[in-house]
Amino acid sequence: MKKIYFLLFMLSAGQLFGQIVNQNIPSVLGATSTLRAPNGTSAHTSIRAHYMIYPADLTALPSGAQIVSAGFVYINGCNTNASGNLKFYMENSTATSNTKSTTWTTAITGMDTVYDGTYNIPVSTTGVTSSFVLSDTFTYAGNGIQIAYDYLGTTFATTAATYDCNNSVSGDLKLVTSSTTTPGAVLTGSSSWRPGIYIGYINPFTNDLAVEFITLNQGHHNKVYDTTQSISGTITNNSIGALTSVPVSLDITGANPSFSTQTIATIAAGSSLIVTFTGLSAANSGIQQIKLSVPSDQFTANDSVIKIQSINCDTISWADNSVPYTAIGFNTGSGILAAKHTGSSMRNTTIKSIYVNIDGNTNITGNQLQAVLLDTGGTIIDSSAIITVTAGQLNTRVNMPLTGNNLITTANPDYYIGIRQYANATVGYFPISSHNPSTVPTGRYFGFGLAGGTPSAPYTTLGALGIGALIEVEPITLSSSIANDSICVGESITFTASGTSSPLYDFKTGGTSVQNSASSTYSTTPTASLSATVEGEYNTCPILSNTKTITLVTIDSSANKLTDSTGTATMSGANYQWIDCVTGLAVPGATSQLFLAPVSGNYQVAVTLNGCSDTSSCYSFIVPVSSINENKIESLKVYPSPTSNLLNVTTDAIQITRISIQDVNGRIVWNSTPLNSASNIDVANLNSGVYLITVHTENGKETRRFIKQ
């Protein structure tokens, strides 16, 4: 895993602590390279290069500083001893770009040769610096510094050293490398990767207190978890002597404005102290600026640090929105990098998705990442789909929604939000952006294997990883007093909010608030179908519910007469019962939309749909005389009625001589002479309606009605 460490270089054992100040230039690094400075391999037996370090890279370096040591900043050293001769050059410059010649002898003309001697490239698998004492003190003039170096190797390693670089200035570095002992005379190559230089300078200050960095409780503070927070700052005494009674001020403007001061009683030269401000309000959502400062002193450039923090209801992350300074990952390996958080002790919450700030290095493209949610013991309880990083996702925040179980309960509030990095054994990569401060409190970041399990020891030197989560309070459950979500006209319904409690419940129908009170129930008599929700709150954060859709069942109970003796209910797709208006009794078997009056009289229809019923007005039906049976054939059966396809006509061994079917207008629409005791008639082609069927037998004839659906 990529780690960055800095080793303090002491000019000599006899010097007092605090007399030498060490820092990196450029001030912002985070881009790695094995090619831009002596890497210890025979492929780079010789290397010549020069580049500019601009005023914006040197804001922490006081004008007039006397630089007495220098060295390169390594991500890792070589695998075995590698050394050679190094010539190192420096020059004050007001140039706004690297205008030095690509001809080496011309380029170094006028530059100070501040070192010419043996240089040992460190053997290390982690971050390190390797400094050398300058042969002549270099005094910084307050603008930019031109750097040049000429290295000729004599002993070599097989694994190249890796440098920490700044790559913000396109093509600024000019270089030439060779596998021979004859250095190139012309710098034929160029690069944006400027190696970091670790310098030491004589401390000129008797009064210089520096605010190193601010450690936020969270860069994205979530009010659901806590409406107060703590903020810490690291203060360093860069003076050559102790300072006493120094006030440190915390000024917050924006969402939750406040001003606080603490006094440092005494701080020794070269010492650092952490000052913590507690009980700070985080009750209001919004953006706020946090400024930590000390009084103006001899070097004002380091007297304050400003951070921008987001206070919100839906996002949580230790990292803020600042520009990342490096990238973290497993290189050619695999595993999970995770941030540990503790949920609310009062409310269950759900983790909706996990996001990651992806670094801009192009070798990340094409590799696979996945968001994972782990419980307190390191068991993976949810995950996202696997993504393959595209070029368009570099230097962006990628959100990865979780797909399964993501409830964080008050009983088990500790959890980890992580990014699973799949291995690329050929080309290593560091996908996760990391933000300042580079050193963070313990207990925030951990590593796991691909399948989770026991977490690693906490990482404190990898910076604030760009990993965050979108959360919400566990939703309210909204139910109704209607079992099948259908209600009849004129009926009342009661909605009930349960589960996650709230001081107020805002019931809404169609998005419009209809009741906002402490009551968790709402009753109404709908006049139309509706969709209901309820919203609550916790620490002014919304608690949402499911949507409950209620259908108002409207019954059209009207009917139409088709003929004097037949009728139909207007509404289709319901259940029907025709009723004798005189007796109030149901007509046996009259349960179809179409109705054939058995005898003359007044009838009405009861229409039922989804448990709701209504009854039509009464209609007068007259059964025509022509429909009276001339002779009753006891064994005659005509069925089914209604029918859509086949109509069956049977007798008990009585021969049927002829069958005819008439419509309601008396027209014969079907005729047959079966000469047997049973007949199956295909009526599929007949129009829907009421028909008369006359059956002639050797014992007489009989006329009956049937309904064609």
3-state secondary structure of 389: coil
Mean pLDDT in residue range 141-160: 96
pTM higher than 0.75: no
Token pair recorded at residue 49: 């290069």
Query: Where residue 439 falls among pLDDT bands split at 50, 70, 90?
Result: confident
Query: Where residue 654 falls among pLDDT bands split at 50, 70, 90?
Result: confident
pLDDT in the model for residue 438:
84
| Model pLDDT for residues 506-548, shown as the tens digit of each residue | 999 999 999 999 999 999 999 999 999 999 999 999 999 999 9
pLDDT in the model for residue 404:
86
Q: How far is CA 42 from the centre of its chain?
A: 47
> Which of the pair, 705 or 171, is modelled with greater confidence?
171
pLDDT in the model for residue 193:
93
Mean pLDDT in residue range 18-35: 84
Half-sphere exposure of 160 (CA within 13 A, CB side): 15
Mean pLDDT in residue range 580-589: 90
CB 74: neighbour CB atoms within 10 A? Answer: 27
Q: d(Cα 132, Cα 72) in Å, to the nearest integer? A: 10
Listed as own residue / partner, the contacts of 506-509 with beta carbons closer than 8 Å and 24 or more positions apart are 506/534, 506/535, 506/536, 507/532, 507/533, 507/534, 508/532, 508/533, 508/534, 508/535
Least confident segment among 14-28, 121-135, 553-567: 14-28
CA end-to-end span of the chain? 78
Least confident segment among 52-61, 495-504, 577-586, 649-658: 649-658
Q: d(Cα 665, Cα 691) in Å, to the nearest integer? A: 9
Cis geometry, peptide bond prior to residue 624 (ω within 30 degrees of 0): no
Q: d(Cα 271, Cα 480) in Å, to the nearest integer? A: 66
CB 5: neighbour CB atoms within 10 A? Answer: 14
Q: How far is CA 510 from the centre of its chain?
A: 28
Question: What sign has the CA pseudo-torsion 221, 222, 225, 227?
Answer: positive
pLDDT in the model for residue 625:
52
Q: How far is CA 79 from the centre of its chain?
A: 41
pLDDT in the model for residue 5:
29
Question: What sign has the CA pseudo-torsion 443, 447, 372, 323?
Answer: positive
Q: How far is CA 73 from the centre of its chain?
A: 36
Residue 224 pLDDT exceeds 50: yes
For residue 619, report the phi and psi dihedrals to the nearest 5 degrees.
-125, 145
Query: Where residue 19 falls among pLDDT bands split at 50, 70, 90?
Result: confident
pLDDT in the model for residue 631:
57
Q: Are 263 and 209 in contact (CB under 8 A)?
A: no
Residue 628 pLDDT exceeds 80: no
pLDDT in the model for residue 405:
76
3-state secondary structure of 300: helix
| Model pLDDT for residues 632-645, shown as the tens digit of each residue | 787 889 999 888 99
Q: Are 310 and 219 in contact (CB under 8 A)?
A: yes
Q: d(Cα 411, Cα 702) in Å, to the nearest integer? A: 81
pLDDT in the model for residue 144:
96
Residue 107 pLDDT exceeds 80: yes
Query: Where residue 95 falls among pLDDT bands split at 50, 70, 90?
Result: very high
Highest-scoring range by mean pLDDT, 220-224, 436-440, 563-567: 220-224
Residue 8 pLDDT exceeds 60: no
Strand duo 445-448 + 335-342: pairing: antiparallel
pLDDT in the model for residue 409:
93
Least confident segment among 268-282, 416-430, 542-556, 684-698: 684-698
Q: d(Cα 628, Cα 622) in Å, to the nearest integer? A: 12
Query: Where residue 28 falls among pLDDT bands split at 50, 70, 90?
Result: confident
Mean pLDDT in residue range 98-119: 96
pLDDT in the model for residue 10:
31
pLDDT in the model for residue 653:
80
Q: d(Cα 465, Cα 31) in Å, to the nearest integer? A: 16
pLDDT in the model for residue 310:
97
- As a dihedral over the C-alpha atoms of residue 515, residue 345, residue 420, residue 322, rounded to 10 degrees, the angle is 80
| Model pLDDT for residues 317-370, shown as the tens digit of each residue | 999 999 888 889 999 999 999 999 999 999 999 999 999 999 998 999 999 999
Residue 565 pLDDT exceeds 90: no
Strands (E), 203-239: 209-216, 220-222, 228-237
Mean pLDDT in residue range 561-582: 92
Token pair recorded at residue 632: 């009753």
Residue 2 pLDDT exceeds 50: no
Hey, which residues does 594 pair with through a beta bridge?
A: 568
Token pair recorded at residue 50: 């020069």
Q: d(Cα 461, Cα 444) in Å, to the nearest integer? A: 11
pLDDT in the model for residue 407:
92
pLDDT in the model for residue 14:
31
What percentage of the chain exceeds 90 in pLDDT?
75
Number of H helices, E strands in the chain: 1, 58
Query: Where residue 11 falls among pLDDT bands split at 50, 70, 90?
Result: very low
Cis geometry, peptide bond prior to residue 437 (ω within 30 degrees of 0): yes
Hey, which residues does 515 pair with through a beta bridge?
A: 507
Query: Where residue 699 falls among pLDDT bands split at 50, 70, 90?
Result: confident
- Which residue, among 424, 460, 414, 418, has the nearest Cα to 440 in the 3D structure? 460
For residue 105, report the phi and psi dihedrals to the nearest 5 degrees.
-65, -35
Q: Considering the chain, what is the average pLDDT of its residues? A: 91
Which domains are seen in the chain, by residue range? 20-202 (2.60.120), 209-313 (2.60.40.10), 316-471 (2.60.120), 476-552 (2.60.40.10), 559-621 (2.60.40.10), 626-708 (2.60.40.3080)
CA distances from 272 to 209, 242, 267 (A): 10, 11, 8
Q: Are 211 and 302 in contact (CB under 8 A)?
A: yes
Mean pLDDT in residue range 559-584: 92
pLDDT in the model for residue 326:
82
> Which of the pair, 54 or 9, is modelled with greater confidence?
54
For residue 415, report the phi and psi dihedrals to the nearest 5 degrees.
-155, 165
Query: Where residue 126 falls among pLDDT bands split at 50, 70, 90?
Result: confident
Residues 6+ away with beta carbon under 8 Å from 56: none
- Which residue, among 246, 380, 252, 390, has the nearest Cα to 308 in the 3D structure? 252
Token pair recorded at residue 394: 């570099």
| Model pLDDT for residues 169-186, shown as the tens digit of each residue | 999 999 999 999 999 999
Mean pLDDT in residue range 16-36: 80
- As a dihedral over the C-alpha atoms of residue 459, residue 464, residue 467, residue 469, rounded to 10 degrees, the angle is 100
- Amino acid in position 659: I
Residue 688 pLDDT exceeds 50: yes
